[in-house]
Structure 1
Amino acid sequence: MDIMHSVLASYGFNRDSYTIERFGNGLINDTCLVKKEGDRYILQRINKAVFSNPLLIAENIEKIGAYLAKINTSYFFTTPCKTLAGDSIVCVEDGYYRMFPFVSGSHTIDVVQTPQQAFEAAAQFGQFTRVLSGMDIHSINITLPAFHDLALRYNQFLEALVKGNAARIAEVAGLVQQLKEQAHIVDEYNHILHDNAFRLRVTHHDTKISNVLFDEENKGLCVIDLDTVMPGYFISDVGDMMRTYLCPVSEEEKDYSKIEIREEFYFAIVNGYKTFMETELTDTEKQYFFYAGKFMIYMQALRFITDYINNDVYYGARYPGHNLVRATNQSILLQRLLEKEPVFSAR
């Protein structure tokens, strides 16, 4: 806590003038709510174990803010508070911190419960990419190299099958075979990388529902947590929404009978995203909404099983077999999605 007091002093906050409390359920960054004389702020410590150079994040946010100011758009964008020295990020002994004003009347949602919520979130992520369509894509820093590189994840999976825990490899032979049979998803990804019809854009890359601010009427206000904003393809944002919105249970669910695809949520994502991206997407890209779901679910299944085979060195495990449960969960989710292809392709 003394470190946080030191950080807040950088913003000119007197130690006796504010209170601090934990805020939200984020898994990556530590987040606190700071209350000072009727005002509220969000203070975050950036996870340096995940983001090796947080200054790249700060630079991206500043560039985006400057671009939006230049084009004089009405788009609502949350910018970080400046320290007394004029910095947007504070470096102290335990890492990097940044602070944002709390948006009055706003709230976040942890779990998607209605198609309307899915629609609103998808519209916000689509609007974010659309409003930044005029930015020089090469001016945006890559904060997590190869984050959504499916070819890399598949190669890591194959390498784990050679170098990983032999007992675990034998244990998951059936699941490994199932995932290998879906390797054509990797082939499609490699095709996308070389098809000029697919455009690199400013994309968020972490489109879970909790990264959208909603107003008091549950209408989307804006997207938040811009740490993963990088050049990318639309399949990353749409795919992550499908992976996390379509099923009523998360990747942590052990009762696989609860895994299903909610059709109305699929169309809510597509229609919400198209609200702002209809004229931005190429005709070819518009044919890849269903693929986006396959792409992201398959990649996450690969990452979980790879980590399990490698003795849980990346995600860790809260109980024995945790990553195997996650990998199996995502593999089943992929199968449930594939079963819906005739329905989704017909509309």
Structure 2
Amino acid sequence: MKITEDMQTLGVESLVTIAEQFTFSDRVTGVQAFGSGNINDTFLVTLDSATEKHFVLQRINTQVFRQPELVMRNMRTLTEHVRDRLQRTPANRRWEVPRVLLTKNTQDIWQDSCGYYWRAISFIENSQSFDTLQDSSLAAEIGYALGMFHNLISDLPPEKLADTLEGFHITPLYLQQYNEVLAKTQPQPSPEINYGWKFVSDRLNFVSILEDAKATGKLPLRLMHGDPKINNVMFDTATHKAVSVIDLDTVKPGLVHYDIGDCLRSGCNPAGEETEHWTGVYFDTDLCQGILQGYLSVAQAFLTENDYLYIYDAIRLITFELGLRFFTDYLAGNIYFKVKHPEHNLARALVQFKLTESIESQETKIRQIIQDLRIINK
């Protein structure tokens, strides 16, 4: 994980001191950068403890999450609900939900002397995540994990959680932001930039398809994870079975279709979203079938007729949306996503645009997969 410049000013002692705010009797023996997230600064804390040996420490990015207290309230409401569900109806296999750890004065968030907000979350021991699905046998587990997550929160009313990211996954708003940035910037034309401009302008007619379906009552408002990339699914290191869905910052009222689409977008791109060889990116329909099969095995209980009708549109739209967001951030000067070099967001955008093209070219096949699985899971 890339540590941002201002994080580099914090020494090991400072990070240890911060981690100690969330411990009681256990001694902190190490803090190291952890994960590959694009938003928060994340660290794995090691403890001298006979019970829990690790926890996750994060500095919340308040440029993105402007109300960190609401983010934590959402997380506590969600995780407590899921733990209650699991106690009343235990899963027939290992399944865990991260716990919010409290400070020594029983707060779920801690503010340092610089004004930064920190929080601690339990670590899912004996687990691992993957950035790409190199093994197709894991595909159904990815789908199962998202279906399990949706199922466990399907009876939690959306109004119980605050909307901490207004406009998040509202594609027409991202298009509006893109147009505003485009009007203010004059980037030097290049084949890649020209490709991006044309790609977006050729697809303006479908950006509101899911929001229109929500507005007309065809798709219901539910709770969604918001960022169910495959590396947010944790796998048991021994059994290789999915055991948890993490990174719960973005859980909010929305459409589960954004989750379904995002899970398939990230899971069905064998090259991964950080590949430098964007021209070879493609959408793997075998992985698509595996993920959807796993998802529907759990989620069929609450999906409606219309839910199935919009799954393909969700896969296409969310892939386009992420490409649009990367492209917009590149044009704006890389102000939202963490980057390793000035052209990083442009490269990310091209990967998503190429993936969208691959999805579009296989529309008939993808729709058939959805239809076939729907029949099987009836």
| TM-score after normalising by structure 1 | 0.90
Instruction: Determine the C-alpha separation between the residues in 2 that align with 1:320 and 1:12.
Output: 39
Q: Among residues 92, 99, 103, which one is paired with 1:79 in the alignment?
A: 99
Q: Among residues 244, 247, 254, which one is paired with 2:266 in the alignment?
A: 244
Instruction: Determine the C-alpha separation between the residues in 2 that align with 1:141 and 1:110.
Output: 29
1:91 is the counterpart of 2:111: yes
Gaps of 5+ in 2: 1-11, 370-378
Whichever residue aligns with residue 45 of structure 2, its letter is L
Give the RMSD, CA atoms, in angstroms: 2.4
**SS of alignment partner, residue 314 of structure 1:** coil
Query: 1:60 corresponds to which residue?
Result: 74
CA pair 316-98 structure 1, distance change in 2 beyond 3 A: closer
- Indicate conservation of the 8 Å contact 1:20/1:35, yes or no: no
- Indicate conservation of the 8 Å contact 2:16/2:30, yes or no: no
Query: 1:302 corresponds to which residue?
Result: 324
Whichever residue aligns with residue 302 of structure 1, its letter is L
- The 5-angstrom pairing of residues 157-196 of structure 1 reads 157-165=178-186, 167-168=188-189, 172-196=193-217
Moved more, 268-277 or 302-311: 302-311
Shift of 1:320: 4.7
- The 5-angstrom pairing of residues 203-214 of structure 1 reads 203-214=224-235
Q: Among residues 93, 106, 110, which one is paired with 2:127 in the alignment?
A: 106
- Indicate conservation of the 8 Å contact 1:3/1:92, yes or no: no
- Indicate conservation of the 8 Å contact 1:34/1:43, yes or no: no
Instruction: Determine the C-alpha separation between the residues in 2 that align with 1:175 and 1:22.
Output: 33
1:22 is the counterpart of 2:43: no
Query: 2:376 corresponds to which residue?
Result: none
Shift of 1:96: 2.2
Instruction: Determine the C-alpha separation between the residues in 2 that align with 1:257 and 1:42.
Output: 39
1:265 is the counterpart of 2:287: yes
How big is each residue's C-alpha offset from its partner over 1:117-166, in whole Å with a ceiling of 9 and x where there is no partner? 22212211111111111112111122222111100011122223322225
Q: Among residues 112, 115, 137, which one is paired with 1:116 in the alignment?
A: 137
Shift of 1:69: 4.8
CA pair 24-238 structure 1, distance change in 2 beyond 3 A: same
- Indicate conservation of the 8 Å contact 1:204/1:226, yes or no: yes
Instruction: Determine the C-alpha separation between the residues in 1 that align with 2:191 and 2:280.
Output: 27
Query: 2:367 corresponds to which residue?
Result: 345
Query: 2:375 corresponds to which residue?
Result: none
Instruction: Determine the C-alpha separation between the residues in 1 that align with 2:18 and 2:338.
Output: 30
**SS of alignment partner, residue 10 of structure 1:** helix
1:155 is the counterpart of 2:171: no
Shift of 1:111: 2.2
Gaps of 5+ in 1: none
Moved more, 287-296 or 300-309: 300-309
Shift of 1:15: 8.4
Whichever residue aligns with residue 266 of structure 2, its letter is T
Whichever residue aligns with residue 14 of structure 2, its letter is I
Shift of 1:91: 2.2
- Indicate conservation of the 8 Å contact 1:23/1:33, yes or no: no
Moved more, 72-81 or 337-346: 72-81
Moved more, 87-96 or 333-342: 87-96
- Indicate conservation of the 8 Å contact 2:181/2:332, yes or no: yes
How big is each residue's C-alpha offset from its partner over 1:281-333, in whole Å with a ceiling of 9 and x where there is no partner? 11011122211111111112212222233333333654453333322222221
CA pair 342-22 structure 1, distance change in 2 beyond 3 A: same
Query: 1:37 corresponds to which residue?
Result: 49
Q: Among residues 333, 339, 348, which one is paired with 1:311 in the alignment?
A: 333
Instruction: Determine the C-alpha separation between the residues in 2 that align with 1:28 and 1:204.
Output: 15
Instruction: Determine the C-alpha separation between the residues in 1 that align with 2:123 and 2:358.
Output: 39
Instruction: Determine the C-alpha separation between the residues in 1 that align with 2:301 and 2:113.
Output: 47
| TM-score after normalising by structure 2 | 0.83
Give the fraction of aligned pairs with identical amino acids, expressed as a percent: 25
Shift of 1:14: 5.9
Whichever residue aligns with residue 82 of structure 1, its letter is L
Shift of 1:90: 2.1
CA pair 253-146 structure 1, distance change in 2 beyond 3 A: same
CA pair 177-139 structure 1, distance change in 2 beyond 3 A: same
Shift of 1:344: 1.6
Shift of 1:48: 2.4
